[in-house]
Chains A and B, each alone.
Chain A
Amino acid sequence: MIITWIVALGLIAFAQMATRNIQMVPSGLQNFAEWLVEGMYDFFTEILGKELVKKTFWFFCTLFIFILFTNWFGLVPGVGTVGWGTPDASGHLHHISQPVLRGGNADLNMTLAMSLTFFLLWTVWSLQALGAGGFLKHIFSGGDNGKGFMALLMMAIFFFVGVIEVISIAFRPVSLSFRLYGNIFAGENILESMMELIPWLGWLLPLPFYFLELLVGLVQALVYALLTSVFTALMCAHHDEGHGESHSHGEHKHAH
């Protein structure tokens, strides 16, 4: 808990310092901040499309930056190794049971909280973009249903497709939170077990895994932000042009 506050305060301080005196020609910290935000903006425009990115960019960019720095902050040597613990009979303290600082994303509550917030926002955005009727229509009907008996058959098929779709949508927060939690938690365990594997090597053995963890932290943050934006794009993006008027022309193009 403390770690998330530290990372959040760090990011706020970084943003304040970067935007203290904004000049047209950016330099130093402001240049870096602008590069980061603009890079993310183009990145998400590619996925979400012009108008949707304006509405949802604030969430995805913060998500990416926050997860990235929480992951990397968890790798700082002091985290998880300084704290209270119960020494064993011979007075050696092997396991810290209550570390002062703990890796932010190495805790399922944290990742599940983020995933549920995303799920809430996802529902709000798709309802805004599609409207309640459109929302259900988008999930259950997959296209032009043809005439007569065929329509009935297709209706039944698309009903089952819709049920599967609902299940897969409901499973997304679970998979998002487990993936992030699992990767970061497993990474921490690797570092610990590598330390004890060959004691006389000491810190030399976990060193390559530290760099692996840096990469995994970046990739998991990227994947988390990307998947959330792709899920939103699936629901909201291609419906913005056809604002609710019925598709009179025959073929129903899905811009996936």
Chain B
Amino acid sequence: MLPMFAEMGGLVHVGLAGLGSAIGVGLIGMKAAEATGRNPGAAGAIRNQAIIFAALAEGVVFFAIFLVK
């Protein structure tokens, strides 16, 4: 177990950021599907918003990869 921790090399933050943004995008998808189910008429607007917020959530990973050394 211990050597595994030794191997980690300090890039844990990228994994956590990936985890966080994946959860974020998943939640957005879930809620968007729910909202479209509840009001199919507004499917277009919901889709647009879902795409934007998913892209915003995804942007976090790239900050973690590139910004933090």
Q: Residues of A with Cβ closer than 8 Å to B?
A: 108, 175, 178-179, 181-183, 186, 219-220, 222-223, 226-227
Could you tell me the distance in whole angstroms from the C-beta of A103 to the nearest C-beta in chain B? 16
Bound complex: CA A175 to CA B51 (Å):
16
Question: Residue of A at shortest CB range from B66?
Answer: A178
Q: How large is the interface on B (under 10, 10 to 19, 20 to 34, 35 or more residues)?
A: 10 to 19
Bound complex: CA A219 to CA B48 (Å):
10
A183 touches B52 (CB 8 A): no
Question: Which of A178, A219, A222, A226 is B59 in contact with, Cβ under 8 Å?
Answer: A178
Q: Residues of B with Cβ closer than 8 Å to A?
A: 48, 51-52, 55-56, 58-59, 61-63, 65-67
B67 touches A222 (CB 8 A): no
B55 touches A182 (CB 8 A): no
Could you tell me the distance in whole angstroms from the C-beta of A187 to the nearest C-beta in chain B? 12
Chain A residues with CB under 8 A of B51 = 219, 222-223
Bound complex: CA A222 to CA B48 (Å):
10
Question: Which of B48, B62, B67 is A183 in contact with, Cβ under 8 Å?
Answer: B62
6 pairs across A/B with beta carbons < 8 Å? Answer: A178-B66, A179-B58, A183-B62, A223-B52, A223-B56, A226-B52
A182 touches B65 (CB 8 A): yes
Bound complex: CA A186 to CA B62 (Å):
9
Question: Residue of B at shortest CB range from A181?
Answer: B62
Chain B residues with CB under 8 A of A227 = 52
Known: A181-B62, A182-B65, A226-B48. 5 other contacts (CB 8 A): A178-B62, A178-B63, A181-B66, A182-B59, A182-B61
Question: Residue of A at shortest CB range from B45?
Answer: A46
Bound complex: CA A179 to CA B52 (Å):
12
B52 touches A182 (CB 8 A): no
Q: Which of B52, B55, B61 has the most CB of A within 10 A?
A: B55
Bound complex: CA A222 to CA B54 (Å):
12
Task: Using known A-B contacts A178-B67, A182-B65, A182-B66, determine if residue A220 contacts B59 with beta carbons closer than 8 Å.
Answer: no
Could you tell me the distance in whole angstroms from the C-beta of A166 to the nearest C-beta in chain B? 19
